[in-house]
Amino acid sequence: MTHMPRPGAIAAAPDHSPDAAPDRHAGIYRYDDLDREFVFQRVAQFREQVRRRLSGALTEDEFKPLRLMNGVYLQLHAYMLRVAIPYGMLGTTQLRRLAEIGRRWDRGYGHFTTRQNIQFNWPALVDVPDMLHALAEVDMHAIQTSGNCIRNVTTDHFCGAAADEIVDPRVHAEILRQWSTLHPEFSFLPRKFKIAISGTPQDRAAVRTHDIGLIATRDAAGAVGFTVYVGGGQGRSPFLAVKAREFVPEADLLAYLEAVLRVYNQYGRRDNIYKARIKILVHELGAEAFLRRVEEEFARLPRGAHALDPALVEAIRAHFAPPPLERLPERSPAFDLARARNAAFARWTRSNLHPHRQPGHAIATVSLKPVGGIPGDITSDQMEALADLADRFSFGEVRVSHEQNLVLAHVRKDELYALWQGLEAIGLGTANAGLVSDIIACPGLDYCALANTRSIPIAQAIATRFADLDRQHAIGELRIKISGCINACGHHHVGHIGILGVDKKGEEFYQLLLGGDPGPQAELAEITGPGFDAAGIVDAVETVVRTYLDLRGEGERFIDTLRRLGHAPFKEALHGAA
C-alpha cells in the first residue's frame, strides 16, 4: 500500500469531554459500565491464554479454539486479527484508534471486509492482547468474529439516513448483538451463523445470502415486524434463503429466531464441515419440513419469557437518535454551481451519492477502490484524515459497507464539494461506487490459507483495464465480485459478473459467472463455460462488457440486459457458437 500524505488536520476541539467529542452524535451503541467490564475481562483472559501459548504450555491445536473465539486467525504468513464493527457503525474516536493500531502493531493499514469488519493482517501474537486492550478502551472488541457462533450482525450501510427506509435496522441489529453474545445455547453451533437485516424492501444488506435474513417492515396498523428468510449462503453449495414467515411481530423476533437456531442446533450436521451450514439442513430436509419444525419449536417456547420488552427497544433506539440535522431546502445553489463548474466533482456526485431522508442533505460513499488499489484497504494516515472529514461534515460518524467501502451518511449538500476536495486530497475521492471498478474481492492467496488462487491482482488488473472513469460511467452499474476459492468470501455467486479462482493442475484459473444479484431480485450467477488464465479473465470481462454495450436497450443496466436476453449472447461472445 502507498502511504497517502495527510492533509492539514481539522483543529481539535479544546474540550475533550464525552459531551463535547466530535463524534458525540455518531449513530453507535454506547457501552455502559457492564459492557466495558465484560470486554476488559475478556482481554485479560485472552492475555493469559496467549502467555501460555508463547510459553509452550499450550500447543497450537489447543490454542486454536481459544484464539478463534477472540478473532485471531492463522493465515498463510502471519496471524490475522479480525475486529468486530457492529452493523458497520464507527465513531471517529474508534476510527482513529483503528488507525493507531494499524500503525503501531501492523503495517500501517487495515482491510475492511464484506462482513463490515476490519482485519489486521500482520500482528505479532505477543501484541494481540495489547491490541485488544486498545480496542476495549474505545468500546470495541473481536469477540464472535470467528468460530461456530452467531457472527457480527450486518445491515444496510445507509440505515437511519436513506429516504426509502421503513424501519431503522440498527435497533434490532443491536438487540441481536446483545442476545447472541455468549448465548449459552448457540456458542457452539454446527457451523458459523450469519444474520443480516435490511430496513427497506430495496435490500441493501443481501439478506437472502445469509443464514437468517430479515427485512424490517410495518403491518397495516403501522406496527414494526420482520419478513424472515432462512437458509441462504454461498460457499461451495450456494442457496438463496427461503421465506419462512411474511411477518413476525417485533415482540416475537427473538422467540422466532431462537426457534430457528434450536432446530438448526438439533438437526444440523456436525460430521461433515462442508454440510454443516443451515442451508444444507434446509435443502436436505426440504423447506416445508424444516419450517414445520421451526413452527413447532416456536409454539413450544414460553412467549412471555422471550418477548421483546417495548421499554428495552426504546432504550436501545435512543442510542440511534438522528443527529441534529438542519432544516434546509432540498436544492442547494452552492452544490449546483460546483457541479456545473467542476466536471470531476459532477461525476463523483452521479455515482457516489444517495438520497437522504432530510432535505438538503446527502449520503456519500467513500470508495476504497482506487485504480490499482487493493479493495477494502485503507492506510492509517487515510483513516485519520477521513476521521477529520467525518467530524467536519458528518457528525463524527463513519460506516463500513459490505461492499468494502465507507460511508458518510449525513452531509449537507452545500458542503459536498468541500468534502470531495478533502477526499481527493487523501486518495479517497474515486467516482466509481457501483461501477465496474468497484470490485469486491477476498484476500485470496496473497493472505488466506484456504485460497487456491489470487484474487487481489485480478481485481487490480480489471480496475486498471477500466481505469477511464468516463468509460465506467458510460457502462453504468456493473458489480464484479471475485473469490480466490470455492468458499466464496468475495461473493462471486451474486456478482453481476462473478469470478471464481480454481486450481487446475497447479495453475491458477478463473471461472466466469454471470447474472448474480444480492438485492431484492436476488439471483445466483451461472458459470459461462471453461475458465481462463489470469490474463484471459481480464479479456473475458472486457468481452462481456462490450457485448452488453452492443446489445443494451435504452436505460438498461447490465443486469437488465442479461435478464432480457439470457446468457446465450454472452456465452457465444466468450466461447463461440455451440
Q: What is the pLDDT of residues 181-239, one digit of tens each?
A: 989 899 899 999 999 999 999 999 999 999 999 999 999 999 999 999 999 999 999 99
- pLDDT of residue 407 exceeding 80, the answer is yes
Residue-wise burial string across 43-69, b where 16 or more C-beta atoms lie within 10 A, e elsewhere: beebeebbeebeeeebeeeebeebbbb
What would the CATH number be for the domain defined by 333-426? 3.90.480.20
- pLDDT of residue 112 exceeding 90, the answer is yes
Query: Helix, strand or coil for residue 351?
Result: helix
What would the CATH number be for the domain defined by 440-575? 3.30.413.10
Count Cα neighbours of 406 within 13 Å in the Cβ-side half-sphere: 29
Architecture of domain 154-318: 2-Layer Sandwich (3.30)
Q: How confident is the model at residue 339 (pLDDT cuts 50, 70, 90)?
A: very high
Name residues whose C-beta falls within 8 Å of residue 323's C-beta, 6 or more positions apart in sequence.
25, 26, 27, 395, 397, 410
The burial class, CB within 10 Å (0-12 / 13-18 / 19+), for 304 is exposed
Measured between alpha carbons, how far is 287 from 37 in angstroms, rounded to an integer? 42
Measured between alpha carbons, how far is 193 from 370 in angstroms, rounded to an integer? 32
Q: How confident is the model at residue 8 (pLDDT cuts 50, 70, 90)?
A: very low
Q: What is the mean pLDDT of the chain?
A: 94
Predicted TM-score (pTM) of the model is 0.94
Q: Which three cell numbers stand for residue 22?
A: 466530535
Q: Degrees (nearest 5) of the Cα angle 421, 157, 224?
A: 140
The burial class, CB within 10 Å (0-12 / 13-18 / 19+), for 112 is buried
Give per-residue pLDDT as tens, 515-530. 999 999 999 999 999 9
Give 33-137's CATH code, choosing from 3.40.190.10, 3.90.480.20, 3.40.50.10790, 1.20.1560.10. Answer: 3.90.480.20
Q: Degrees (nearest 5) of the Cα angle 463, 513, 468?
A: 20
- Ranking 76-80, 397-401, 475-479 by mean pLDDT, the lowest is 76-80
Give residue 304's pLDDT: 87
Measured between alpha carbons, how far is 185 from 176 in angstroms, rounded to an integer? 14
Mean pLDDT of 8-33: 69
Query: Helix, strand or coil for residue 45?
Result: helix
Q: Which of 369, 366, 378 is nearest to 110 (CA)?
A: 378
Give per-residue pLDDT as tens, 229-281. 999 999 999 999 999 999 999 999 999 999 999 999 999 999 999 999 999 99
Give residue 578's pLDDT: 53
Q: How confident is the model at residue 16 (pLDDT cuts 50, 70, 90)?
A: very low
Ranges in the chain annotated CATH 3.30.413.10: 154-318, 440-575
- Paired residues of 255 in beta bridges: none
Ranges in the chain annotated CATH 3.90.480.20: 33-137, 333-426
Percent of the chain with pLDDT over 90: 93
Helix locations, 342-411, DSSP H: 343-352, 380-393
Rg for the chain (alpha carbons), in Å?
23
Q: Which three cell numbers stand for residue 510?
A: 478463473
φ/ψ (deg, to 5) at 522: -55, 135
Give residue 12's pLDDT: 38
Name residues whose C-beta falls within 8 Å of residue 291's C-beta, 6 or more positions apart in sequence.
230, 242, 244
Give residue 258's pLDDT: 96
